[in-house]
Amino acid sequence: MERDDIIEYSLHAHHSEEDGAKLRKKIYFVTVLLSVITIIEVLVGVFISRSANEGTNLWESIKIGYIILTLIKAGYIVLIFMHLGDERKHFKWVILAPYILFLLYLIFIALDEAVAVGNGMTM
């Protein structure tokens, strides 16, 4: 006996080759972008040592660069893999704004506590 309540959705999908090509191009772009950012982070971590650049502005720039690259990667992951990029602009901001504020708050607290600990160690 054949069931009539099971719907085979793959038979009803009507995707053109142009839609498939656009989707593959988007997937390749995101894969390459996230891979390049990760490779840059790894290479900087391997070739630039903290001890040689401790007192310079270079080490501060590297830390800020890591934060920016990580936020870019997180943003792309949320927009692409969680399908938030397909939503309307205002809905994106409703979802992303609290996270952005929370991340800024965490960065502020981390930097503030680092200064407090640094001042406590010099006394």
Output the CA torsion sign for 28, 33, 34, 40. Answer: positive
**Domain match, 28 and 59 both:** yes
**Domain match, 118 and 81 both:** no
**Domain match, 78 and 92 both:** no
Within a domain: 12: no
**Helices 17-47, 57-76: crossing angle, 10 deg rounding:** 160
**Domain match, 115 and 79 both:** no
**Domain match, 28 and 75 both:** yes
- How large is the average pLDDT for residues 55-78? 83
Q: How many domains does the chain have?
A: 2
Within a domain: 9: no
State the Cα–Cα distance between residues 33 and 69, nearest whole angstrom: 11
Q: Given this model, what pLDDT does residue 2 score?
A: 65
Q: Given this model, what pLDDT does residue 5 score?
A: 63
Which domain, by its residues, includes 43? Answer: 21-86
**Domain match, 37 and 52 both:** yes
Within a domain: 66: yes
State the Cα–Cα distance between residues 102 and 79, nearest whole angstrom: 18
Within a domain: 46: yes
Strand, coil or helix: what is 77?
Answer: helix
Identify the DSSP state of 32. Answer: H
Tell whether the model's pLDDT for residue 69 goes beyond 70. yes
Tell whether the model's pLDDT for residue 18 goes beyond 80. yes
**Domain match, 27 and 64 both:** yes
**Domain match, 122 and 110 both:** yes
Rg (CA), the chain: 23
Give 71-100 pLDDT, tens digit per residue.
888 888 888 888 787 788 888 888 888 988
State the Cα–Cα distance between residues 88 and 85, nearest whole angstrom: 8
pTM of the model: 0.62
Q: Are 44 and 62 in contact (CB under 8 A)?
A: yes
Give 102-115 pLDDT, tens digit per residue.
988 998 999 889 88
